[in-house]
Structure 1
């Protein structure tokens, strides 16, 4: 479970001070599926980065299973990310010289698994997203949707508790977008993940059980009864 209390993130731009997050309070139960929406520059990605331990707040606490991420050392924070949190981004972030399987294996290196176990788990993760026949393909040999599936497999291969996705369908056409969302939602249900996604796509936001709207660093939370 996430418990955010009074989370503020302040940036200085020239002589001006901007609050990307302004005293955010938010609870995200285990297994929740939450979508974050809002205008560009409103704080969406900043909030996701806080949840993932990729950035630290200026003030406030970010509790994950009772541990305040804001107070952890960099080494401990890296360990939490390696073990508990998977990330999927809009731009795939695959290494172009590595095969699909090798890209997925990179997520397992910090866990110090033996090479054989890394290969086996990476292959199984790719099979779970429908790419069992593409293990040896380079990113340049895959479509955009297939590359995002590799990125999803890489996020999930370490068996995280949390999946954070920042505009995961932003570079995809409508048909491929729907395919990727089917994959993500299926994996959320299958693994009981806590799934938090930033998206500008209102059609996706309407399908989420809970919607957080963020404007000028402040949030409102809506329960989507029909989702």
Structure 2
């Protein structure tokens, strides 16, 4: 479970101080699906970075299972990210010279698995997102939707507790968006993940069980009992 208490994040821009998050309090239970929405510059991606241990708050605490990630030494924080948190981004972030299987295997390198185990788990992860016949394809040989499936497989291959997605459908057309959301929701249900997603897409937000809206660094959470 995540527990955020009075999380504030400020940046310096020249002589100006920018407040990206302003005293955010938020609880996210195990297995929750939360969508984060709000205007550009409102703090959405900053909040996701805090949840992923990619950035630290200026003040406040970001606890995952009772451990405050804001105060962990960098080496231990890196281990938490490597073992417990999967990331999916809008731009896929695939290595162009590696095959789909090799791209997925990169997520397992920090876990120090044997090469044969990495190959097997990567193949299984790609099969689970419908790419079992594309293991040897390079990113340039796949569509945008297929590349995002590779990115999802890479995020899930280490069996994380949490899946964080930052605009994962932002580069896709409407039909491909729906396919990727089906993949993400299926993985969320099958693996019991805590799934947190930033999106500007209101069609996606309307289907979320919980919606966090951020404006000027402040958060409002609403529940949707009718959501899937």
Same fold by TM-score, threshold 0.5 exceeded?
yes
The alpha carbon displacement at 1:6 in A equals 0.5
Whole-angstrom CA distance in 2 between matches of 1:33 and 1:130: 22
The alpha carbon displacement at 1:16 in A equals 1.3
What's the counterpart of residue 116 of structure 1?
116
What's the counterpart of residue 199 of structure 2?
199
SS in 1 for 2:92: coil
Whole-angstrom CA distance in 2 between matches of 1:117 and 1:129: 19
Q: TM-score, normalised by structure 1?
A: 1.00
The alpha carbon displacement at 1:14 in A equals 1.6
The alpha carbon displacement at 1:13 in A equals 1.2
What's the counterpart of residue 78 of structure 2?
78
Whole-angstrom CA distance in 1 between matches of 2:150 and 2:18: 36
SS in 1 for 2:150: helix
Is there any run of 5+ residues in structure 1 with no aligned partner, and where? none
Whole-angstrom CA distance in 1 between matches of 2:150 and 2:173: 17
Figure out how many residues of one structure are paired with residues of the other and give that number: 227
The alpha carbon displacement at 1:194 in A equals 0.1
What's the counterpart of residue 60 of structure 2?
60
Whole-angstrom CA distance in 2 between matches of 1:105 and 1:10: 36
SS in 1 for 2:36: strand
What's the counterpart of residue 130 of structure 2?
130
SS in 2 for 1:95: coil
Whole-angstrom CA distance in 2 between matches of 1:194 and 1:206: 18
Is there any run of 5+ residues in structure 2 with no aligned partner, and where? none
Deviations, residues 88-136 of structure 1 (Å, cap 9, x unaligned): 0000000000000000000000000000000000000000000000000
Task: For 1:1-227, list aligned pairs within 5 A.
Answer: 1-227=1-227
Whole-angstrom CA distance in 2 between matches of 1:141 and 1:73: 40
Whole-angstrom CA distance in 1 between matches of 2:137 and 2:123: 12
SS in 2 for 1:133: coil
Greater mean alpha carbon deviation, residues 14-23 or residues 40-49: 14-23
Runs of 4+ in 1 over 2 A off after TM superposition: none
Greater mean alpha carbon deviation, residues 190-199 or residues 14-23: 14-23
SS in 1 for 2:225: coil
Whole-angstrom CA distance in 1 between matches of 2:190 and 2:215: 33
What RMSD over aligned residues (CA atoms) do the two structures have, in Å? 0.4
Whole-angstrom CA distance in 1 between matches of 2:144 and 2:12: 36
Deviations, residues 183-209 of structure 1 (Å, cap 9, x unaligned): 000000000000000000000001010
